[in-house]
Amino acid sequence: MQGVAVSASPTTELPVLVIGAGPTGLAAAAHLLERGVEPLVLEAGPAAGAAVREWSHVRLFSTWGEVVDPAAEKLLVPTGWTRPDPATYPSGGDWVEQYLQPLADVLGERVRTGARVTGVSRAGRDRIVDADREQQPFVVHVAHADGAEERLFARAVIDASGTWATPGPAGGSGLAALGEHAAADRVTYRVPDLDDPAVRARYAGKRTAVIGSGASAFTALADLADLAEAGDAAGTKGVWILRRGISGSTFGGGEADRLPARGALGLAAKAAVDQGHADAVTGFRTEAIERATDGRAVLVGEDGRRLDPVDEVIVLTGFRPDLSFLSEIRLGLDERLQAPVELAALIDPNQHSCGTVPPHGHRELSHPERGIYLVGMKSYGRAPTFLAMTGYEQVRSVAAAIADDLEAADRVELTLPETGVCGGAGLFDAPESDQSGGGCCAPAPRLVRLAPGAVAVGAAAEEAPASG
């Protein structure tokens, strides 16, 4: 096995270790190479883009023009690669096959798969030791798929491992609902691939609860509505579980969204409700998942409400970062979002959800432990509305900072599109009269009228964030 020498080489001669061979991690490697800095990318999965492969059936709401990193494209073009039509929308599978895997192939042995990072620290220094700390290289422990373990050294660490492996639970308190683990045979935390015959059979003609209020929940509701209209799936019904009330902004920015496909997802979810393919249950915070006499799942709310039994439960309540392997590193994280403190102030859904995140880079992503950066989806912690182009700008800045080009690292090279939705999530339990009426990106929301067959249970309509 090839490894990084463990001799006492000067720190600057060591590679920059990148955790995760997803879109942001591979882009980080491309930017480092562009600056003459050697990267080493470690991917826990069996192939590059392992997480994206798991949602290969889902279509992105960003176009090809927004999901290809410029530095990566410079590496790919000499191989004969051409970017797909920049105005079209790839699926996750398209993204992997036509961009991520070719990029990993160009990077070659700099990308190692089946290599899970189990710990990061400073060589010879645990978390509490100050003496000579910043002069020591980072030491990274790696577990390989064949059971072997390895210790690597790095001049800097870029953690682009994402949050896909740590989805949020069904429980309204951030903890798993009572009985959630016991009901694992009826619960999934992913958008089902209804083109797969086996998966389709699981949901066709069944009653399915969808817990969540973001783009993934919109996608699941729209897919179930399409299934309900198929000739062989009569009786398919969605039950949309919302912790808040229903308002115009519940369904996203719609036509006001600067990313049209993202706005269309919310409109499709609204159509599913309006057409009677899904019932909306509002103000419901799941406390327990119990079993009915026939084995189906019964959702029980914190307020004591018990919903009618469902055959399946799709939990799409967001994701959270895995920080366990960084326990020996001194991170500066926001106490709520688990995102870098400086970045958290820009993305906190308690304050806003407009999607208009100011461009940010190495300074907002820095920590008390110099030389380590959380980038990509993981940098947002528990906050929603992350875009691929955000991660590309982050690693462009971080790579420049690692290469000591602070002028380039501080330069702004990205403006993000607005969602068309405003208002913080922090007031979701406040009376409607206490909430701000205006918004930074769109007019005040209008109450959505549900179809006659829909169920709206809970408090008065409240302003909700773009994702949840």
- Tens digits of per-residue pLDDT, 183-222? 999 999 999 999 999 999 999 999 999 999 888 899 999 9
CA dihedral 195, 320, 373, 258 (to 10 degrees): 60
Q: Which residues lie closer than 8 Å to 263 by C-beta, 6 or more apart?
A: 252, 253, 254, 255, 256, 257, 420
Which H or E run contains 125?
Answer: none
Residue 171's pLDDT is: 97
Task: Please give the pLDDT value at position 465.
Answer: 31
Residue 153 and residue 6 in contact, taking contact as beta carbons nearer than 8 Å: yes
pLDDT band at 47 (very low <50, low <70, confident <90, very high): very high
User: Residue 147 burial (CB < 10 Å; 0-12/13-18/19+)?
Assistant: exposed
Whether 412 and 215 have beta carbons less than 8 Å apart is answered as no
Which range of 50-54, 420-424, 454-458 scores highest in mean pLDDT? It is: 50-54
pLDDT in tens, 14-41: 999 999 999 999 999 999 999 999 999 9
- Please state the rounded mean pLDDT for residues 65-89: 96
Q: How far is CA 280 from the centre of its chain?
A: 24
**pTM tops 0.75:** yes
pLDDT (mean) for 116-140? 96
Q: Which pLDDT does position 414 carry in this prediction?
A: 73
Check whether 433 has a pLDDT greater than 70: no
How high is the pLDDT of residue 354?
A: 46
**pLDDT at residue 394 in the model:** 96
Strand locations in 237-291 (E): 237-241, 278-281, 286-291
What is the structure's pLDDT at 278? 94
The alpha carbon of 6 is separated from its chain's Cα centroid by a whole number of angstroms, namely 35
Q: Which amino acid is at 314?
A: I
Cα distance between residue 125 and residue 100, in whole Å: 36
- What is the rounded average pLDDT for all residues in the chain? 85
Are 435 and 462 a contacting pair, CB within 8 Å? yes
Specify the pLDDT at position 264: 72
pLDDT surpassing 90 at residue 142:
yes
